[in-house]
Amino acid sequence: MRIMHQATAFLGLIIGFSCAAFGADDHTANERTHVMSWGKPANGLQAGIRCRIDQQKVRGDAVTTLDLVIRNVSEEVISIEYLEAQRYFGELTDTTVTGHPGYAGDGFPSTINIRPGGIREVGNVPIGRVLKKRPGVAYVYRVELPLGKYQVGCERVLVDGDTNDPPLLGTGYLDIEIVE
């Protein structure tokens, strides 16, 4: 991941990680409608994971989507060059789901600029209950969890092309419950 500051300008779970279009800063979520958990800041950026408050309990066959976001906690515009992730790889340990994004494709990086205080969505993590598998269906693009309470977070939100890099910009952990 290449970051430039500009003064003027589980068990092998594989789930979908869709990248958002990058335009204006994302101010659609707020404390009244969403719950959020931020990780530790690094290089002027901070990663977080969020979901709608009313979707922290996943019922029946429903799927909830957790957004992965980054924000600029510095006083300068930050330009980020990174590979857009295509999948989220995670592990379930007891009641904690941790993971990191991976990428597929030709490896051409994307660049976004984030102004001070700006927040950008960089992907999402769909989560649902374990369902009966249909014949001929090998996988689903979401984390499937049995009934229970979990903490879900991401060790690394952005990928710079070398998946052996140390985890960067990890999120905090959200409480999610899978109910009948």
Which residues, other chains included, contact 70 with Cβ-Cβ below 8 Å and sequence gap of 6+? 45, 46, 47, 48, 80, 114, 119, 120, 122, 157, 158, 169
pLDDT of residue 53: 93
pLDDT in tens, the chain (180 residues): 444 433 322 322 333 333 333 345 665 667 789 999 999 998 899 999 999 999 999 998 888 888 889 999 999 999 887 776 666 666 788 888 887 676 655 667 778 899 999 998 887 888 888 877 777 766 666 778 899 999 999 888 876 644 445 447 899 999 999 998
User: What mean pLDDT is reported for the chain?
Assistant: 75
Which residues, other chains included, contact 3 with Cβ-Cβ below 8 Å and sequence gap of 6+? 43, 44, 45, 78, 79, 80, 81
- Rounded CA-CA distance 45/114 in Å is 9
pLDDT of residue 57: 94
- Kindly write down the DSSP assignment for every residue of 23-63, as one continuous string: -S------TTTEEEEE---BTTEEEEEEEEGGGSEEETT-E
Check: CB of residue 27 under 8 Å from CB of residue 119: yes
pLDDT of residue 60: 85
